[in-house]
Amino acid sequence: MKVRVAAYEFAPYYSKYLDSSLTSDLIDALNAYQDTYEFVLQEVPAATRYRALSKKGCCDVMFFEDIDWGWNRKGETVQAVQPLIQGSDRFVALKQPGRTQAYFKDLTDKRLGGINGYHYSFTNYHTDRKFLEQHYNMYLADSHVACLRLLLHGRLDVIVLNDEFLAALQNAKEDYLDKLLISQRHDQQYKLSILVADNKAVSATIIRQLIRELGRNGTIDQLFRRYNLSRFQIYRSRGVH
C-alpha cells in the first residue's frame, strides 16, 4: 500500500535545494526495512501543508513537524506520534568588526528574513505575508537556503534559522558558519514528531511500531548522526514501551 509523506521546505528535514534530506533518507530506510507499505515523498507548500493531511488531502503522514504549529486551529484530525527531535530557531546575522550579541536586542530597524508559512514566536505566530512585511519589515523567502544567500549578499540584516540547519551546515563544502553571528537566545523551541492523519493509508500504531523497530536496529541513530543532529535527538529506542 502506498503511503504519501508530505514534505515542505524545512532544511535539513527536507529541501529541494539540497542533495539529501532527513525525510528522504527516512523514507528510504522504511522502504528498505519492510514491503507492506511503499512510502513516497510528496512535496507540499509550507503555507498550505495542513490541507495535505486533511480528509481529502493528498498525503497520509508528515515527518518532523510540531503539532503546535497551527494544526489544532486548522481543525484537521491528526495524531502526533513519536517525538524525535527538540529544535530551536535563532536569529542570525553576518559577522562584522565590533558586532556583538547586542545587535539582536532591537530588531525594529533591521530588514528581517524568514520562510513563508512558518510560525515565529517574535511575530506572535502570525504567518500572513503582508502583515509581516508591514509590521516587522520581514521578507519571506521560500527556503532556508534562499534566506542564507540573501543574508550573505547583504540583502537582509537578520534571518531566522533553526539549530538543526546550522548543525547540518557543518557538512557543507563552504564554511558558512565562520561568516555568521548566531544569537545566543532562541526565538522558540519545538518538538518534532511524526504526524499521522486519521483514517488514511496507514495508522499511527503502525508508524509507531516501524519507528520503534528502526530505532532498535540503529537506523534512527545513524540517520541523525549523518546530519549532525544527535545532540537534538529526544527519541531513544530503549525508552519506548
148-191 residue pLDDT tens? 999 999 999 999 999 999 999 887 767 889 999 999 999 999 99
Asked, colleague to colleague, whether 2-86+190-239 and 88-189 share their fold, the answer is: yes
Q: What is the CATH architecture assignment of 2-86+190-239?
A: 3-Layer(aba) Sandwich (3.40)
Check whether 239 has a pLDDT greater than 50: no
Domain locations along the chain: 2-86+190-239, 88-189
79-110 pLDDT per residue, tens: 999 899 999 999 999 999 999 999 999 999 99
236 Rama sector, left if φ>0, alpha if ψ -120 to 50, beta otherwise: beta
Q: Which CATH architecture has domain 88-189?
A: 3-Layer(aba) Sandwich (3.40)
Q: Find the DSSP H helices in the chain.
A: 22-33, 49-52, 71-74, 129-136, 144-152, 163-168, 204-216, 219-226
pTM given for the model: 0.91
